[in-house]
Chain A
Amino acid sequence: MDSILDIEDLSVSFDTPDGEVQAVRGVSFSLKRGEILAIIGESGCGKSVLCQSIMKLLPKSGRIKSGKIIVDGTDITDFKEKDMRKIRGDLMSMVFQDPMTTLNPTMPIGKQITESLLKHKKISKEEAKKCAIEMLDLIGIDNPEQRYSLQSYFFSGGMRQRCVLAIALALDPMILFADEPTTALDVTVQAKIIDLLLDLRDKLGLSIVFISHDLGVVARIADRVAIMYAGKIIEIGNVDEVFYDPRHPYTWCLMQSHPTLAKEGEPLKCIPGIPPIMLNPPKGDMFAYRSRYAMKIDFEKMPPMFEVSPTHFAATWLLDEHAPKIDPPVSLKIGEAHAE
């Protein structure tokens, strides 16, 4: 079996005083061993909720409505908190956006790493310390022996994010969820963290679900890309397929609004309107309300996933055989969009 994580038709809702907010609506995907899958979307599209629901870290008002979560062959959909504690960190781990708030400011870095080791494994404190120092060394912290006993405020933003990674990876998990891990960092630091993740994947055989809204970052790190909009995956495929041959109008819009892809002297093309509110979502294709290419059927019926290639799928009626042929407004050629 080569897939380590299978999500089948997962729906997550939040109960609010105004009614039910459907944050994730029927999402299915699978993650292969050693693969990096990037999930791209605007804020509020449900990408973070998706990861939180797999980790079972949803706030109390959120619940998994339907669907299945299968991790390494085990169905964990109905796992209670007690069972989840055993597999969190061990089987799957999560890194959050802001390294400043993730770390405990009063606790030395080393202790935060050994905490989970001592809880999950039957090892002595000395062994745990040795493990933690090895871990710090692996993620590229110089002088790990000295830094082991320092608090997080001695560290720069990039080093803190490295420490957060060390904590997440201490138990050698198989899956890592990285929720915008580089958004709060400078570009040069961001590039180093991304290269570190790529390096760790090769060294540890880690599978990574990488959440981001930056197409540039995703282009560097991902093997496969899923584009999310209004709680659904609307396009998924290998990174080259999605970037060089995008099929969904929303993917086109995302690419057009990226400043490095803008032609000199031309204005940025932006997506009109705002994402829909997921309280009583409208019928049909949710993006139709903002799309230039919307057809009548888009407002009536939700499009299924059309197959573009065996690995590339998109949910838009434009791929239906009856739809008019439209030349995509973006045509990215290999090596065309670089900084020089």
Chain B
Amino acid sequence: MSDDVLLDVKNLKQYFHINKDITINAVDGICFSVKRGEVFGIVGETGSGKSTVGRTIIGVNTLTDGEIYFKGQKISDKKIFNHNKSDIQKNIQIIFQDSTAALNPHMTVENIIAEPLIVNNILKTKEEIAAAVDENLRLVGLSEPFKNRYPGEISGGQRQRVAIARSIAIKPDLIIADEPIASLDISIQAQIVTLLQNLQRERGFSIIFIAHDLSIIKFLSDRIAVMLKGKIVELADTRELFENPMHEYTRSLISAVPVPDPVYERNKTIIDYDTSSFDGSGRMTEVSEGHFVLI
């Protein structure tokens, strides 16, 4: 494994046993790796398992099968995970879609951003922590007075900024952003995407960006994985994926992205892909360098 691979996921499976008859194969044997400083996009429809991937990597779910390597360490192994727990938790952060649910309503913005610094024993003195909170607030474009507000008192876009400030406060290597902009307004979406992009370029951390909106993923990501029913059906560099989509489902997704161009939209035909015919069979095959398709 080369040094620049930050996260390596091998044959990850996440099954949920609902009862003795029903098992949901949310993630069904996927492989990918994320390089240092890379933005890796995961796109897919509702129920494709894209959020589960993020949650399993961070350890919210105990994985059913497969291996996850973070900085060369096999963190899917309980023992190794517990041994390096603080390091792993410091270096993988997650931003959720619903910022209302993600932030504790009883804590002020200041306490929310300070909490990871205190819990992880990164800064000791009150002065250092206060300075770090100010610094991170400034980075996400919020001013001083926000420190004493509660999450319920600020807008959705501002809450998502606070969530970002909290996740970057401890300088992680990897941020998993699970639909961070889906519940925001169009102009606020642009603000948050730009913010994430600027921070990523400045700090050089990696992002796994999970979304259902292909146009945002295209804008932000270096590489994209397309998920369907727990499988990755196609994985390629962003440009390659859009110029040369191989899987029929990818083609149908790309064709369905609405484009603000009336004449083009009126004349465009949308490729219809019947997802019920997809049974997940096939092997990931490398069709050109770095471009994998499930055939």
Contacts and interface: CB of A to CB of B under 8 A. Distances in A.
Q: Do A and B bind each other?
A: yes
A48 to B, nearest CB: 13
A268 B219 contact: yes
**Looking at chain A, what size class is its interface with the partner chain?**
35 or more
Contact of A215 (B219, B260, B273): B260
A338 B188 CA distance: 23
A270 B191 CA distance: 6
A217 interface: yes
A267 B252 CA distance: 27
A267 B256 contact: no
Nearest to A274: B155
B264 A338 contact: yes
A187 B253 contact: yes
A133 B268 CA distance: 31
B219 A219 contact: no
Contact of B242 (A254, A271, A339): A339
A267 B219 CA distance: 9
A334 B264 contact: yes
B254 interface: yes
B186 interface: yes
B282 interface: no
Contacts of A222: 262
Interface in B214-236: 214-216, 218-219
B260 A334 contact: no
Contacts of B261: 219, 243, 332, 334-338
A76 interface: no
Contact of B45 (A186, A239, A269, A336): A186
Interface string B252-273: 1111111111111110101001
A294 interface: no
A130 interface: no
B194 interface: yes
Interface in A191-224: 191-192, 195, 213-220, 222
A192 B190 CA distance: 26
Interface size class of B (residues with CB under 8 A): 35 or more
B42 to A, nearest CB: 15
B222 to A, nearest CB: 12
Interface string B265-295: 1101010010000000000000000000000
A258 B213 CA distance: 12
Given A42-B186, A267-B197, A274-B157, A240 B263 contact: yes
B265 A216 contact: yes
B212 A268 contact: no
Contacts of A217: 258
Interface in A151-207: 157, 186-192, 195
Contacts of A268: 190, 193-194, 197, 219
A236 to B, nearest CB: 15
A216 B45 contact: no
Nearest to B201: A267
Interface in B172-186: 185-186
Interface string B144-184: 00000000000101000000000000000000000000000
Interface in A270-298: 270-271, 274
A186 B193 contact: no
B21 interface: no
Given A274-B155, A340-B242, A213 B260 contact: no
B258 A216 contact: yes
Nearest to A250: B187
B260 A337 contact: yes
B251 to A, nearest CB: 10
A260 B45 CA distance: 19
Contact of B213 (A187, A270, A337): A187
Interface string A243-272: 110000000011101111110000111110
Contacts of A340: 242-243, 254
Interface in B51-70: none
A104 interface: no
A43 interface: yes
A282 to B, nearest CB: 18
Interface of B: 45-46, 155, 157, 185-191, 193-194, 197-198, 212-216, 218-219, 242-243, 252-266, 268, 270, 273
Interface of A: 42-43, 157, 186-192, 195, 213-220, 222, 239-240, 243-244, 253-255, 257-262, 267-271, 274, 332, 334-340
Given A219-B265, A253-B187, A259-B216, 19 more contacts: A42-B185, A188-B253, A188-B256, A215-B186, A239-B262, A243-B260, A243-B261, A244-B262, A258-B260, A262-B219, A268-B197, A269-B190, A271-B191, A334-B263, A335-B264, A336-B261, A339-B214, A339-B218, A340-B254
